[in-house]
Amino acid sequence: MSLAAALALYPVIALAPLVTVMLMIAGMIFGDRAAEWFVREHANRLVVEARDADDPEAEAKIAHRSAKDRMSGKA
């Protein structure tokens, strides 16, 4: 069981420095506020999708929201 836990935790630990560097670069290119908005918006979307995972209509809602974002140029 501890091997499974270690394997599950490894990607999180390994990706954290990469995400930090990417955020710093995005902040320099697009500005701090734009980078912060991007991260906050996508993190919020992940939380909402995880929360709605038990909802039988969640897949249709997510697909609809994704299509709407693509049409408006947000995706």
pLDDT computed for residue 73 by the predictor: 63
Distance in angstroms (rounded) separating the CA atoms of residues 54 and 69: 23
Q: What percent of the chain has pLDDT over 70?
A: 81
- Asked whether the predicted pLDDT for residue 21 surpasses 60, the reply is yes
pLDDT level of residue 34 (50, 70, 90 thresholds): confident
For the cut 60, the answer to whether the pLDDT of residue 66 exceeds it is yes
Query: For the chain, what is the HEC assignment?
Result: CHHHHHHHHHHHHHHHHHHHHHHHHHHHHHCHHHHHHHHHHHHHHHHHHHHHHHCCCHHHHHHHHHHHHHHHCCC
Name the pTM for this structure: 0.47
Q: Which residue ranges make up each domain of the chain?
A: 2-72
| pLDDT reading at 75 higher than 60 | no
Above 60 in pLDDT, residue 72?
yes
